[in-house]
Chains A and B, each alone.
Chain A
Amino acid sequence: MKLQKASLFGLYAVLELARDTERQLSATDIAESYGISTHHLAKVLRTLVRSGLVQAVRGAGGGYRFTGIVNRTTLLDIIELFETLESDLDTPSPNAQSGGAIVEELQSITREIDDLTKAVLDTITLETALNSSQLRDTLSGQ
């Protein structure tokens, strides 16, 4: 699975903001933490604000803060704001009748893979991902 950049940046931003729901961070703060483009992240943050998961706080000392529910929002909820996780399998041309069964079989296999991918991402909440990453930090002595 290859996530689009917007999905990945969305996950970075939401997880970073959800680490401390009282904290406000600017797009630059988040972009610097993950070594990503501020410009691209700003666009992603606009989508997150529209979804209601993130609030933009105006004025001096303003920034973004997480307003969703950490133990109810899943990684898939974030990713699906930016893309649908469907494998890209080019369908045959209308003339290629004889290969139809093989194409259908390959489509069925990719659907099986997509379903498993979604089942994983849809059951990992932000809270679970944050707890696991905190454990990683602890184990690596950071």
Chain B
Amino acid sequence: MNNQVTIRNAILSDINAVIELDLVGTPEEKLAYWQGIFDRYVTTGKDGVFFLVAEINGEVIGFAIGEVRAWEFGSPPCGWVFSLSVSPKTRERGVGRLMFKEMCQRLKNAGVSTVRTMVDRENKLTLSFFRSQGLRTGRYIELEKQIGDMEATS
């Protein structure tokens, strides 16, 4: 049996495998979200947009999505990786590293020299992964405010 990991562009029929690999939320909640993502990143095939999947023996075991974004928050064009997931049963085999490397190469070919992502600070596993790939705290600081109770806030 060949256990070689291959990275390829996602196709529409990958949607169920991707939903399965997305560990956040329930499948019911995620269907509409992922249909929208596939429409935008797979069907339309815009420049500077990359939806990759990793597979072993034809089974999808990971995915990564990234794109070039320009002038958001005053930033010159840069690459954003906004989703990356690997099946727990194939972790520690370099799948995430391979996908991230391929994503960086695609983003570089698209003309950007910086890649960014955003991770919950409690998500040690993902933060440690991105740090192991050389990412550091960037120059932009994410700020937020609870606005559920506007009366209590100034």
Chain A residues near B (Cβ < 8 Å): 71, 74, 115-116, 119-120, 122-125, 127-128, 131-132
Contacts and interface: CB of A to CB of B under 8 A. Distances in A.
Q: How large is the interface on B (under 10, 10 to 19, 20 to 34, 35 or more residues)?
A: under 10
Contact of B124 (A122, A127, A128): A122
Given A124-B128, A132-B134, 18 more contacts: A74-B128, A115-B121, A119-B121, A119-B127, A120-B137, A122-B124, A123-B124, A123-B127, A123-B128, A123-B131, A124-B131, A125-B128, A125-B131, A125-B132, A127-B132, A128-B128, A128-B132, A131-B132
A116 B132 CA distance: 18
A23 B129 CA distance: 27
Top 7 closest pairs, chain A to chain B, by CB: A123-B127, A119-B121, A128-B132, A123-B128, A128-B131, A123-B131, A124-B131
Select the residue from A115, A123, A124 with max chain B CB neighbours within 10 A.
A123
Interface in B73-115: none
B104 to A, nearest CB: 15
A132 B133 CA distance: 9
Contacts of B127: 119, 123
A36 B109 CA distance: 47
B139 to A, nearest CB: 14
Select the residue from B124, B127, B128 with max chain A CB neighbours within 10 A.
B128
Nearest to B123: A123
Contacts of B121: 115-116, 119
A115 B120 CA distance: 12
18 contacts: A71-B132, A74-B128, A115-B121, A116-B121, A119-B121, A119-B127, A122-B124, A123-B124, A123-B127, A123-B128, A123-B131, A124-B128, A124-B131, A125-B131, A125-B132, A127-B132, A128-B128, A128-B131
A131 B128 CA distance: 13
Contacts of A123: 124, 127-128, 131
